[in-house]
């Protein structure tokens, strides 16, 4: 599977509303499914979205406020109930270890799946066995310890069929050439550079509850898809700063200054019944592909740059 998309499971902040579930976002990246911040009701939202527990390969929790983690017990028990065949890595702030343990053992259930805890003690690369991307954690600014996540695919090469045919490279030799960098065909050495062109890797950043800080800019820098909270509007910027959040305008300015390709705004306060003003505010600053996230929306990755 080569599909890359973000499946939005919930977009509310603090409390769910009639139209917005608690947070929840599943990033589908080929065979990988990274579930970010499973809030209350995430398991049911996955059913509405046509997603299965087996689609989850990793879980990433930014912090331990309830709207970002109260769905974790149901998700953990569901992957065990469904006897998911692969291990599931779970990333979370190490300072919240006590909450992680409580959530994962909230009730009695039969444990069948290997849940690999990956507590985060500070900024840097995280273990990501067998993943086609690297995962980096970056500290954010919130009343409790919080981290943002950035996934980055290594750059590679795109094979050019017409050049392969011209040099007589076919079948299993194409894979050998990609692995080894060169091979001999009919007495002539063919190099990878001769039959391919550079293929830039793609990147994804997930920025939840935070004030403006260096970490926000670091995560957003040059990213292909930026998912970022926009809890408030600029008119309520004083509330955003007091409670450790961003406004739609701030998030859009960050995206524009960072050169992000696609911007996804989410995590909306219940005080806003409609989100037209969030879109209008963001469009003042960001001219790229802009999505105001809606529950159960599917947002595709942009083409490679």
Q: Which residues contact 151 (CB under 8 A, 6 or more apart)?
A: 27, 29, 34, 133, 134, 135, 136, 203, 204, 205
Residue 47 neighbours by CB distance under 10 Å:
10
Given the residues 55, 67, 224, 295, the one annotated as active site: 67
CB atoms within 10 A of CB 78: 21
236 is in an annotated binding site: no
Residues 217 and 196: their CA atoms lie apart, in Å, by: 34
The reply to whether 157 sits in an annotated binding site is no
Residues 205, 136: Cα–Cα separation, whole Å:
9
| H or E segment and range at residue 193 | none
CA torsion, points 47, 30, 304, 287, in degrees to nearest 10?
20
Can you tell me the distance from the alpha carbon of 108 to that of 259, in angstroms, rounded to the nearest whole number? 47
Whole-angstrom Cα Rg for the chain? 21
261 marked ligand binding residue: no
Place of tokens 């066995």: 129
Cα 156 to Cα 265: distance, rounded to the nearest angstrom: 30
286: β partners: none
Q: For the beta carbon of residue 124, count every other beta carbon within 10 angstroms.
A: 9
If one counts every other C-beta atom within 10 angstroms of the C-beta of residue 3, the result is: 11
68 labelled ligand-binding: yes
Task: Give the separation between CA 224 and CA 133, rounded to whole angstroms.
Answer: 14
Is 278 labeled as ligand-binding? no
Strands 188-191 and 289-292, by their bridges, are: unpaired
Q: Which residues, 6+ apart, have CB-to-CB distance to 287 below 8 Å? A: 256
Please say if 67 is a catalytic residue. yes
Residues noted as catalytic: 67
Binding residues for Zn(2+): 63, 65, 67-68, 142, 209, 267
Binding residues: 63, 65, 67-68, 142, 209, 267
């Amino acid at each position: 599977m080569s599909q890359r998309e973000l499946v939005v499971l919930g977009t509310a902040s603090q409390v769910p509303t009639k139209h917005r579930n608690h947070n929840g976002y599943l990033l589908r990246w080929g065979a990988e499914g990274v579930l970010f911040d499973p809030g209350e009701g995430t398991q049911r939202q996955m059913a509405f979205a046509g997603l299965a527990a087996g689609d989850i390969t990793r879980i990433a929790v930014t912090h331990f406020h309830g709207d970002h983690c109260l769905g974790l017990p149901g998700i953990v028990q569901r992957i065990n109930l469904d006897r998911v065949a692969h291990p599931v890595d779970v990333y979370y702030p190490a300072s919240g270890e006590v909450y992680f343990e409580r959530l994962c053992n909230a009730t009695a259930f039969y444990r069948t799946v290997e849940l690999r805890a990956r507590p985060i003690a500070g900024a840097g690369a995280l273990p990501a066995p067998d993943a086609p991307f690297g995962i980096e954690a970056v500290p954010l600014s919130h009343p409790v310890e919080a981290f943002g996540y950035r996934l980055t695919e290594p750059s590679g090469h795109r094979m050019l069929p017409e050049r392969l045919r011209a040099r007589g490279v076919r079948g299993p030799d194409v894979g050998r050439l990609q692995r080894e960098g060169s091979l001999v065909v009919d007495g002539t050495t063919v190099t990878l550079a001769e039959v391919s062109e550079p293929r830039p890797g793609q990147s994804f950043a997930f920025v939840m509850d935070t004030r403006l800080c260096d970490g926000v800019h670091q995560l957003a820098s040059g990213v292909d898809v930026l998912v970022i909270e926009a809890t408030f509007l600029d008119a309520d910027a004083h509330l955003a700063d007091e409670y450790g959040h961003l406004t739609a305008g701030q998030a859009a300015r960050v995206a524009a200054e960072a050169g992000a390709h696609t911007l996804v705004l989410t995590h909306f306060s219940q005080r806003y019944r409609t989100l037209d003003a969030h879109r209008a505010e963001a469009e003042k600053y960001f001219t790229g592909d802009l999505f105001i996230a809606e529950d159960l929306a599917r947002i595709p990755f942009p083409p490679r740059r």
